[in-house]
Every structure is written in C-alpha cells, then in structure tokens.
Amino acid sequence: MPTIPGFPQNWLEEHKRWHHARHSMDLNRLPTGYGQDFLTFHRAYIRKALEWYASTGQDMRLVAPWNSVPEPIRQAACYDRQAEWRILNRPDTFANSDELGRFIEASGLHGCMHQEAAALYGEPDLLDFDISPRSTVFYHIHGMVDRWWQNWEGLGRFREGMPYWSGRFYREDGEVLHYRKQDRTWWLASPETPIDDLATGIVQDGVRLEWGAVGDSTAFGSVEDGRPFRVWDSDGDGRLEIVFRHPKDGTWWEGSVHSGRLSWIPIRLERTGLPSQRADSLTARSRRKRKIPT
C-alpha cells in the first residue's frame, strides 16, 4: 500500500509550498540556514503526519524509517556512498546541523533516494514535491534522514554544551535524558502536568520534571570526548537508545532504559554503520529517584 488513503490535502499543500519556495536554489550553493530549515521542517512534518496516520489505525510498519538505505539504491550511480559514510561515521566533521542538512542536499543523497525509490517501488509520487508525502515510502526516506540528524545530534549536543536529549527513552514521549559529566551519571526526567496553586487557583507556568538517576557510564570513560556517539532508536522498538564506540578497542555499545535502569550491551555495526544487537550485557548502577521542580 504505497499510497496513504485519505492523506490530508492541506498537508500536501504545506509540503508543496515549502519546496516550491526553495526549488530554484542551486544545491551546490545553498545559503546558510537552508540545511537547518530542511531538517527542522521535515522532522516536524513527518511527526505530525505519523501521529495522524497512527490515529487512523493503519499499520505503522508501513511507514517505519529504514534502518539502512536499501542496497539497490546504494548501488545506483547517483548515490554517494562516501557521503553516507561521513554522515554515519564522522558526524563530528559537521560544525552544526545546518551544515549537515546542506550536505545531505548538496551530495545528492536526498534527491537520489527519492529518484531510485520511485523506480524500485514503482512509486512515481516520490518524484513530485506536490504529492510525495502521501506515499508510505516518503516516511522510509525522511525517517532515515531524521536518524542521520539524530546521529549528529548525539555528538553535537556535547559540542554545544547541552548534553540532554528529548524523546521516548522509557515510558512516554517528552522524556528528557541528561548526562552529568562530573560523575558520568545519566538522569531521566518525566514531564508532569502543571499543578494548580491551591491558594490562588493559578496554574504555574512550565512543567514539573521528575528526575531519576538511572545509571552511569563510568566503565567507558568520558563519552563526551569526541568518540562516535548517537542517541536514536537503533532497534526500531519506538524508544531511543544511547550508542557509542569505545575508543580503546573500537567496540560499540548501546545503552537503554529498562525497569528504570540503564543497561549496556555490546553491539555490532552493519556495513552502513547502523547498529544491530548482540546478546551479552553489562548493567550500570541504578540510583534513587528524587524530584526537582523546573
């Protein structure tokens, strides 16, 4: 079912307007800000569209992001595998997410995936900005691109001095994972609904976060030292994981939160640089929860 039935027409128009406003730009001379705009727009767009899609009761597996780009597409003449390798394995070479976004466009990876997927799946909608979001394959592609951005964000957050990430790590969307480099501990916060002030009846601004130290990564040294580092859904279970390469022996490790504890397992990388799990495990220490209002 490549075409999504009943896809909202106004959302097709939104995607069309975004691309038509930028269609005349030279991909080799994209202006500063274009890359950030490209990544931000499509992240928000696919999240909104997928929320609607889920609400209709359709099969979410049909719109899941690729874990890796299909090999027939990677073998196409237009596909720059060296560019893909840089995105996956050297995200530290991009100064910011704007540079990453412009690189994805200028390297031709984005356009090539649309072009070759249209042929591979017999889905000509992917070649038309006006209607491509009504194709299920559109979400394979842009979910994959968003994972590339998440790949950069894992390391980029350290560079920007903001070692926290938002998403579903354990139970719900909107959780916040924070790395405290002083003692190499990891803290997870869950958002709470603002509470009415019983004396005034006024709802306080902001939300209250319930923080808990879920574990540490002391055994692996300073994960903010520039090693390849990612925060994304590496196994497709709908929850985010921490993934990094140990600089001493080159092994890759994945951390995920289960039963309120951060557990680490060694993983291996597929040829494209995406992780797949292996069985052995090492569990980090768990700490008692406490509440911190923000």
Phi, psi of 54 (to 5 degrees): -65, -35
Regions of the chain short of the pLDDT cut 70: 1, 155-156, 192-208, 269-294
Backbone torsion region of residue 57, taken as left when φ is above 0, otherwise alpha when ψ lies between -120 and 50, otherwise beta: left
- What are the boundaries of each domain within the chain? 9-159, 164-292
What DSSP designation does 172 have?
S
Q: Which pLDDT does position 269 carry in this prediction?
A: 65
* Cα dihedral 279→280→284→286 (10° resolution): 60
Residue 192 confidence (pLDDT) = 62
pLDDT for residue 203: 35
Say if pTM beats, i.e. exceeds, 0.85. no
Q: pLDDT for 254-277, tens place per residue?
A: 999 999 999 999 987 654 455 554
Alpha-carbon distance 59 to 57, whole Å? 7
CA R_g for the chain: 20
Check residue 151 and give its pLDDT. 77
